Each structure stands twice: as C-alpha cells, then as structure tokens.
Amino acid sequence: MWNYSEKLKDHFYNPRNVGIIENPDGVGEVGSLACGDALKLMIKLDEKGMISDAKFQTFGCGSAIASASALTEMIIGKTLEEAEKITNRDIADYLDGMPQEKMHCSVMGREALEAAIANYRKVDVGKKEEGEIVCQCFGITDTEIIRAVRENGLTTVEQVKNYTKAGGGCETCHPKIEALIALAQGEQKQEVPREVPAPKKRLSNIQKMKLVEETLEREIRPALKADGGDIDLIDMDGNRVFVALRGMCSSCPSSGFTLEKYVEGKLRELVSEDIVVVEVKS
C-alpha cells in the first residue's frame, strides 16, 4: 500500500474541479489508456489573461487524480505566465509529497498544463518532436528525461523511471538513461552517446498505440456502432494491431471484409502505412 499524505488522500477522495468546461480556451490531453493513466485539462481565461476556471477529467490511480485536482487549484487565479512556471515538484509539494514511484503522476499534471497553454496559444508544440525517443515502451524523449533530472535532482535510473516512466518496460534503454543523467548533472555540453541514430519520424510503440486507440475511437467505432457492432483493441506487436469485433460485427459474414478494407485502411491512412490488422476470435 502506498504511503500517501493526508493532503493527497483528501484530493483523491474529494477531487476539486472535476468536469468539463464548455468552450474552453485551452485543452491539454496527455497519457493514454494503454499506459494506464490519462489526463484532460481544460482552462478558461478572463479578459485580463488570468485563468478564471480549470477543470479536468482523468483516468488513473489515486495520485494521478490527486495531482490533477491539485493542479487545478494551483492554477486558478494565475496568469498564464505564472502558471507556466509550475513544475512537477510544485505539484508534489502542494500535496505534501508523493511516493517516489508515483512522481510520474505529477509530471503528467505539468505536461497537461503545458499542453493546455500551448493549445490556447495555438502553438503546436509537438513535445515528442523536440527530442529523440529514448524509452520505446513508453515513448519518452531525451528532452523529457533531462528536464525531469534537472528539475528534480535525479541521480539513478530507478528515479527516472519513477518520474517519467522511462525505462519501466523492457529496460534496454537503461544505459542511455544513465548517460542522460550524467549529462544533465554535469551540465556538459557534449552530445549524448547515440549508438543507434533513431529516425526522427518513427513513432514509438506507445505513440503508435495511442494513435491507433484514438483512431479506433473517433473514426472506426462510431461507424461500427451504427451497424450494431463494436471493436476492441486487444494488443499491438510492432506493426500488427490485434482487434476483436463485438456485437453484430462478430457474427457478420462480411466482417473479414469489414476489417481488411475498412479498419486497416483507416489505420494506414491515419497512423502508419505499415499497419496490419489481425482479428482475434473469441
């Protein structure tokens, strides 16, 4: 059982500002279903550029909900310039600290805030574009890792995992993370050793998975539902996307046709050219 502070528990049991703002001025969405946590932050500004309202929806553990709740309390009444200065550590401190293993929840809060502000300013920051993906499993870039190390004074791979999730899956990126820690701590100007120069445009597994999820949700599911069917994303392995058809779709004799021509086509168009859809039978 996590050792949560009383204040964190209070924000989890009684979260502030849960909900939706109609016509928000800025929206930030981070995380994904596959990762196990996600946060959607909506902000409203008054005529003086002050954040007059903030609301959130979240899918996540106790500390994710508490971090989002705390964040909204912290930013309401602040100007964007003031809000921008909030770090993940500020969120954690506001909650009287949180377990090391859960610090990535505070980072998710800060990322959602940045995304909402960027959305308001109509800047497409595309944060993943800024750096190079280091952790393929969770899609974390070197920029994000260095930032977390600097802002929080991290010294070990384990800490980086707690704060960013990087290195929490297959662990093959651990040497790279170590090099990044050394770089950030020494504030050296030299380049991080990059054994394999990763192509910029390539999507990490988790980015791809997130895109697939979104595409299924927005483009494909509504169409299937109109015919009394549904679709579930089961898993992904490289470019192969495993899905199961539900309801009318699962018994429809033309479902093979539906899958190939429709789902795969959409995913290839909107996610990646090389996607192969595999139907999993119940």
Partner 1 sequence: MKEVYADNNATTRVAPEVKEAMLPFFEDLYGNPSSMHHFGAQVEKHLIYAREQVASLLNADPEEIVFTSCGTESDNAAIHGTLASYPEKRHIVTTKVEHNAVLHYCRHLQKNGYKVTELAVDRLGRLNLDELQNSLSDDTAIVSIMYANNETGVVFPIEQIGQIVKDRGIVFHTDAVQAGGKIPLNLSTLPVDFLSLSGHKLHAPKGVGVLYIRKGTRFSPLLIGGHQEHGRRAGTENVPYIVGIGKACELAQSYMEEERIRIGNLRDRLEIELLKSIPKARVNGDQGNRLPNTLNISFESVEGESILLLLSKEGIGASSGSACTSGSLEPSHVLRAMGVPFNAIHGSVRFSLSRYNTEGDISYIIEKLPSIIGRLREMSPFWSALS
Residues engaged in binding partner 1 (CB under 8 A) = 12-13, 15, 18-20, 29, 33-40, 56-62, 64-65, 138, 161, 165, 168-169, 213, 217, 232-235, 242, 244, 280, 282
- Least separation in angstroms between residue 87's CB and partner 1 is 22
Beta bridge partners of 30: 39
Q: Which is nearer to partner 1, 15 or 74 (CB)?
A: 15
Q: Spell out the residues 6+ positions from residue 209 whose beta carbon is closer than 8 angstroms to its own.
A: 32, 34, 233, 236
Q: What angle in degrees, to the nearest 10, is found between the helix axes of 174-186 and 142-152?
A: 50
- Least separation in angstroms between residue 102's CB and partner 1 is 8
Q: Which is nearer to partner 1, 21 or 183 (CB)?
A: 21
The residue from 105, 135, 173, 249 that is catalytic is 105
Dig out the tokens for 150 from the structure. 């600097």
Catalytic status, residue 170: no
Q: How far is CA 122 from each of CA 21, 28, 48, 242, rounded to the nearest angstrom? A: 18, 12, 18, 35
- Least separation in angstroms between residue 115's CB and partner 1 is 13
Q: Which is nearer to partner 1, 115 or 183 (CB)?
A: 115
Q: Which is nearer to partner 1, 82 or 235 (CB)?
A: 235
Q: How far is CA 5 from each of CA 9, 15, 62, 99, rounded to the nearest angstrom? A: 6, 15, 11, 9
Catalytic status, residue 173: no
Residue with tokens 């809000």: 83
- Least separation in angstroms between residue 64's CB and partner 1 is 8
Catalytic residues: 35, 105
